[in-house]
Structure 1
Amino acid sequence: MAKNMTLLWGSGSCPCWRAMIALEEKNLQGYNHQLLSFDKMEHKSQQVLDINPRGQLPSFKHGDNIVNDSYAICFYLESQFQDQGNRLIPDGPEERARMYQRMFEGQTFYEKLNNVIYYDFFIPEEERHDCALSRNKEALKAELSLWEGYLQQSPGSFLAGSSFSLADVVVFPTVAYLFRFGLSAGRYPKLGEYYALLKDRPSIRASWPPHWLENPKGHEALKDF
């Protein structure tokens, strides 16, 4: 079943990691995959462009079906294989509503994180301003407080409630990045508990970014948050 699936991906990409977690959760191991280098601009290669004209990763193909956006890949896999592996959309309307809300809020969370840790990478040197970076940091701090509160209010250990769902699939990579870049679990205990709970989940451990395994130390960009 998974042999007619192909995933082109990059190590440490949150969107790629989302797709890989979903594939693991649906017991779709054995799919064809190729690790590409962002540094070498391999995501702009013809191999990728043939599947994804935007030249972005992940790029995913199942038979003749092409699905490239990471959220779309997650929904596609859950709908196509809903009776296989773990169910990722809760049955109850309250928990399902919470799952959708947290899932799509996760994109804002991811963007605000990127605006801080990749500020120097995305913004040309002549356009960088300390006040802009300061605003980005304050926006991320406010976002962190929101998610700390969401986890505090959750009726279970996961973002939507008592079961692991698509919300966790798409948001956990962002949380992992926070701690990779030095976020303090002492200042954000619920996020710290959530990270500790999920980091050794089989689907997450199996898809852990290879270069993180090679260099577990990480960075300190968020150590003062």
Structure 2
Amino acid sequence: MAQSMLLYWSSGSPPCWRVMIALEEKQLQGYKHKHLSFDKNEHKCAEVKALNPRVQVPTFKHGDLVVNESFAACLYLESAFKSQGSRLIPDDPAEQALVYQRMLETNNLQQKMYDVAFYEWYVPEGERHESALKRNKESLIAELKLWDGYLEKMGKGSYLAGKNFTMADVVCFPVIAFFPRLHCPPERCPRLMEYYKMLKDRPSIKASWPLEWLEKPEGEDTFKNL
């Protein structure tokens, strides 16, 4: 089954990583894949362009079906292989609602993380201002406090949407993993750091860990003074 799948991906990309975690959780190891370098602009290649009008990764193909957005690819895998591997979307509507809410809220956390971690990459040198970066950091700190509160409310040992590992964890963990890597002070988001430690050795996450993170476990100290 997995042999009819093809994933174009880049290492260290949260959207790519979440699709890879979903594939592992649904026991779809053995899928075909092509690792493309962001630094070399390989993700802009003709193969990806032919399948994805936005020329982005992840680009996922299963037989003749192409699914380009990472959330869509993850949800497709859960729907197509519902009875296989981990159950990532619960049946109960109220539980589903919380899973979907946390999934979509991940976009806020990811963007605020990008706004600080990649500020110099996004903003040309002549347009950078300390005041703007300070606002970005304040916004990120508030977002971290919000997520810490979610976990605090649900209790120790909880996942993002309850007592079970769900699609909310699949899509959000790759974003949360940037904080310890970039030296975010643990006291800034203690519940998220507990959550990170609880999940980092999960088989699906270890199997899909970013290649350059394996080669260089420590990242820049971008969040050291957050």
Report what 2:179 is aligned to: 178
Shift of 1:122: 0.9
Matched, 1:46 2:46: yes
Q: Which residue of 2 aligns with 1:24?
A: 24
- Checking the alignment, whether the CA contact within 8 Å between 1:7 and 1:59 is kept in structure 2 is yes
Instruction: Give me the whole-angstrom Cα distance separating, in 2, the residues matched to 1:76 and 1:94.
Output: 21
Tell me the distance in 2 between the aligned counterparts of 1:184 and 1:90. 34
Please report the TM-score for the alignment, with normalisation by the length of structure 1: 0.98
Return the offset for 1:172. 0.3
Tell me how far 1:151 sits from its aligned partner.
Answer: 0.7
Runs (5+) with no aligned partner, structure 1 = none
Q: 1:200 maps to what in 2?
A: 201
Amino acid at match of 2:178: Y
Residues 170-212 of structure 1, C-alpha deviations (whole Å, 9 max, x = no match): 1101110111111122332101110000000000000000000
Look up the SS of the partner of 1:143 in the other structure: helix
CA RMSD of aligned residues (A): 1.0
Aligned-partner SS, 1:186: helix
Instruction: Write out the 4+ residue segments of structure 1 that deviate beyond 3 Å after TM superposition.
Output: none
Match of 1:83 in 2: 83
Alpha-carbon distance in 1 for matches of 2:125, 2:19: 33
**TM-score, normalised by the number of residues in structure 2:** 0.97
Paired residue secondary structure (1:220): coil
Q: How does 1:19-168 map to 2 (within 5 A)?
A: 19-154=19-154, 157-168=158-169
Query: Would the aligned equivalents of 2:18 and 2:171 in 1 still touch at CA under 8 Å?
Result: yes
Deviation at 1:92, TM superposition (A): 2.5
Cα displacement string for residues 142-183 of structure 1 (whole angstroms, at most 9, x for unaligned residues) = 000000001111256101101101100011011101111111
> Equivalent residue of 1:29, what SS?
coil
Aligned residues of 1:151 and 1:191 also touching (Cα < 8 A): yes
The 1-side partners of 2:137 and 2:188 are apart by 15
Structure 2: 5+ residue runs without aligned partners? Answer: none
Partner amino acid, structure 2, of 1:183: C
Contact kept, 8 Å, 1:90 with 1:163, in 2: the verdict is no
Overall identity of the aligned pairs, in %: 57
